[in-house]
Amino acid sequence: MSAGDVAGTGTGGGNGTTGTGGTGRAHDRVYRRVVRRETSASRSGTVVVAMLVLLVIAAAAVFAAALVLLDQRVLGIDPRDVVDGAARAPRGLDTTITVGIAAIVAFLGLVFLAQGLLPQRRPRHAMSSDRLAVVVDDEVLASAAARAARSATRLGPDAAVGTVGRRTVDVVLRPAAGVDVPAVAATEAVAAEFVAIDTEPPVTARVRVQPTGRVDG
C-alpha cells in the first residue's frame, strides 16, 4: 500500500505527514503476516489431538509411578512387571497384536510429523488493495467467474460452472441443446473480470463450451 497519497489530506488533524507514513510501513508488515496466516491452513486441530495424546501418556506415567510408590496394584497388574515384560520383548508377547499397535502408533507419529513439516495452503487468493489486506475464498472467485461468463452469453443461472485453481480459472458452459454460445465473448468477460479482481498470484481464465447439449426447461 502507498502511504504517500493520503499523507497530505490530514484526516487525523494533528499528526501530519510523518505519522501517517510510519503507520503505512508498519501496516505493510502486519498485512504480509496476516495474509500469510490467512492463506495457509491452521494446524490447531492436529495440535490439540497431539497434546491430548501427550497428556494421556503423561497421566499413565504419573499413575504407574504413584502405584509403585504406594505399593499398590490395579487389576492384579504391577507396573514393574509390565516394565520387565517389555524389557524381555519379543519373548512372551504376541507378535500380531504388538506389531499392530506399534504400526498404529508409528502412523499417528507420521501424520503429526507431516502436519508439522509440510506446507499447506487454504483454497484462497489474496487481492490487491491500496488500503486493505484482502483474502478471497476460491469458491467466491469461481462463482464470480461463472456469473461473468453467463452475463456475456445470456445463459440460465445453472448453465455455467466455474472452478478455480491456484493459477487458473476454468469455466464450463453447458448450453441447452441447439443454443449457440459466443465462447470468445464469454472468455473475454471472464478475463476482464479477473483483471479487475487482480488476485495474487494472478490467474488465467479459460472457458470451455460443453459440446453435449442439455435438454431441459
Partner 1 sequence: MNATNRGLGRTALVIVGLALLVAGVGTILVQTVPWASSTWHDWGRSLGDLGAGAPRDASVTMWTWVLGGGVVLGILALVVLSTLGGGRVGTVVEDDGSSSGVAGTVRIDSAAVQHALSSAIGVMPEVGSLAVDVYRVRGGRAIRIKVRPRRGASPRAITTGVEGIVADLDALLGDRLPVLLEIARGGSGSGRTDRVH
The size of the interface with partner 1 (CB under 8 A), counted in residues, is: 97
CA 209, CA 207: separation in Å to the nearest integer? 7
- The residue (of 36 and 214) whose beta carbon lies closer to partner 1 is 36
Residues in 151-190 at the binding interface with partner 1, rule: CB under 8 A: 157
Comparing CB distances to partner 1, the nearer of 6 and 183 is: 6
Q: Annotate each residue in 127-156 with x if it binds partner 1 (CB under 8 A) or - if it does not, as one string.
A: x-xxxxxxxxx-xxx-xx-xx--x------
Nearer to partner 1, 74 or 113 (CB): 113
Question: Comparing C-alpha atoms, which of 215, 213, 193 is closest to residue 204?
Answer: 193
Rounded distance between C-alpha atoms, residue 202 and residue 167, angstroms: 6
Cα 114 to Cα 65: distance, rounded to the nearest angstrom: 33
Whichever of 47 and 176 has its CB closer to partner 1, that residue is 47
Asked if 170 contacts 163 with a C-beta cutoff of 8 angstroms, the reply is yes
Site for partner 1 in 13-42 (CB under 8 A): 13-15, 20, 23-24, 26-27, 29-31, 33-35, 37-38, 42
CA–CA dist 141, 148 (Å, integer): 10
